[in-house]
Amino acid sequence: MEQDEARAMQLYRDAAERGHAGALNDLGFIHLQGELGQKADPELALDYFRRAADRRHPAAMFNFAAMIDDGKVPGRGAADAALYLYRALRAGDGTLLGLMQEEPRLFDSDTRKALQRKLSDFGFYDGAIDGLYGDGTQAAIRAAFGMEAGGAQGEATETTEETAEAETSETSPIASEPPQEEPDQEPATQTEDTPEIDAEPEPGAGENVTPVLRPKQAARE
């Protein structure tokens, strides 16, 4: 058993060293939960989730947003969580769409408001910024995912214009270092609420992948 676990860990690490986003996301779970013979290490888990999220891995973006929402990422706030959630939606992962529609209270009110604002910024939502996921917000979530009004799925990839606008204020890559401390407030403009991204999207990262943190590992009120 120990040899099998060690072999599995080596495979994960080899893939992670090559920048494989899925392996990075899985290593986040392994170190968060203390699996495959590893001691639980939340800080290391967070770094793996961040690295996978910054490679635009849909589940990892959702996971990193969940950890920001839980207050476990120094210097990150609701606007950062919302940006990762928005990008996860645009990546077209049906599992994440289902979670966000069926479990509207998975994230706290500030994060939900920030996501509404993000959806509004990109023309998907024109309702109140109230943190309530009513019909208008649900329709905006589906539209951002790439579903037409009648329910048909269309293109769900983030556009060049969206990426350029979201990354206007980004500076140098953050690699494996923790985020720098920033004012603990929700920015009011698009250019102030953007986390730093350290890699290009991984080919095939838009596939429907698991696992995700919520609701099992981080149940909400």
Q: Percentage of the chain with pLDDT > 70? A: 67
- DSSP letters, 124-153, are S--S--SS---HHHHHHHHHHHTB-TTS-B
Taken in order 184, 176, 96, 86, the sign of the CA dihedral is positive
Which pLDDT value is given to residue 50? 94
Evaluate if residue 217 carries a pLDDT over 50: no
Please, are residues 69 and 220 in contact by the beta-carbon 8 Å criterion? Answer: no
> Torsion over CA of 30, 32, 35 and 36, rounded to 10 degrees?
40
Neighbours of 95 (CB within 10 A): 16
SS3 content of the chain, % helix, strand, coil (to 5): 50, 0, 50
Give this prediction's pTM.
Answer: 0.71
Evaluate if residue 104 carries a pLDDT over 60: yes
Q: Percentage of the chain with pLDDT > 90? A: 51
Please, are residues 38 and 12 in contact by the beta-carbon 8 Å criterion? Answer: no
Token pair recorded at residue 94: 């049906």
| Residue 147, SS3 per DSSP | strand
Neighbours of 93 (CB within 10 A): 25
What DSSP element (H or E) covers 101?
Answer: helix 94-102
Neighbours of 220 (CB within 10 A): 14
Please, are residues 212 and 99 in contact by the beta-carbon 8 Å criterion? Answer: yes
DSSP label of 82: H
Please, are residues 144 and 117 in contact by the beta-carbon 8 Å criterion? Answer: no
Instruction: List, for residues 152-204, the tens digit of each pLDDT value.
Output: 444 445 555 555 555 543 322 223 333 333 334 333 333 334 444 444 444 34
Instruction: List, for residues 46-100, the tens digit of each pLDDT value.
Output: 999 999 999 999 999 999 999 999 999 999 999 999 999 999 999 988 888 988 8
